[in-house]
Amino acid sequence: MRAREMKDGVYGQFARIGKAVSAPKRIELLELLCQGPRTVEALAEQAAVTIANASQHLKILRAARLVEAQRQGLFVEYRLADEGVLKFVQAMRELATARLAEIGTITETFLRARGALEPVSGEELMRRVRSGEVTVLDVRPAQEYHAGHIPGARSVPLSELKLQLTTLPKNREIVAYCRGPQCVMAIEAVELLRKKGFRANRMEQGVMDWRARGWKIEKSQGEEP
Which bin fits 48, alpha (ψ -120 to 50), beta or left (φ > 0)? Answer: left
pLDDT of residue 119: 46
In this structure, are 119 and 78 located in the same domain?
no
Shared domain for 47 and 118, answered yes or no, is no
Q: What is the mean pLDDT of residues 59-87?
A: 94
CA distance 35 to 178: 10
CA distance 60 to 54: 10
Instruction: Give the separation between CA 138 and CA 186, rounded to whole angstroms.
Output: 8
pLDDT at 84: 94
**45 domain residue, yes or no:** yes
Confidence at residue 115, expressed as pLDDT on a 0 to 100 scale:
65
Mean model confidence pLDDT for the chain: 90
Looking at 84, 119, 146, the residue that finishes a domain is 84
Residue 166's CATH number: 3.40.250.10
Residue closest to 130 by CA, chosen among 20, 216, 23, 55 = 216
Q: Count of residues for the chain? A: 225
Asked if the model's pLDDT at residue 161 lies above 90, the reply is yes
- Catalytic residue (one of 21, 29, 150, 178): 178
Does residue 103 sit within a domain?
Answer: no
**Domain for residue 136, yes or no?**
yes
Q: What SS3 state is found at 71?
A: strand
More confident residue, 207 or 117: 207
For residue 117, the model assigns a pLDDT of: 53
Residue 116: its pLDDT value, please?
57
Q: Supply the CATH number for residue 46's domain.
A: 1.10.10.10
Q: Are residues 39 and 119 in the same domain?
A: no
pLDDT of 98 reads 93
104 assigned to some structural domain: no
Q: What pLDDT is stored for residue 50 in this prediction? A: 97
Q: Can you tell me the mean pLDDT for 142-149? A: 92
Q: What is the mean pLDDT of the segment spanning 181-200? A: 92
Q: Are residues 123 and 200 in the same domain?
A: yes
Q: Place 223 in a pLDDT band, splitting at 50, 70 and 90.
A: very low
- The confidence score (pLDDT) of residue 214 equals 85
Domain end residue (candidates: 28, 49, 84): 84
- Total number of domains constituting the chain: 2
The answer to the question of residue 225 being in a domain is no
Q: Is 183 a catalytic residue?
A: no
The reported pTM is: 0.81
pLDDT in tens, 87-142: 999 999 999 999 999 988 988 888 777 665 554 556 777 788 888 889 999 999 99
| Residue 220: predicted pLDDT | 80
Specify whether 47 is located in the same domain as 128. Answer: no
Q: Write out the residue range of the structural domain in which residue 67 sits.
A: 3-84
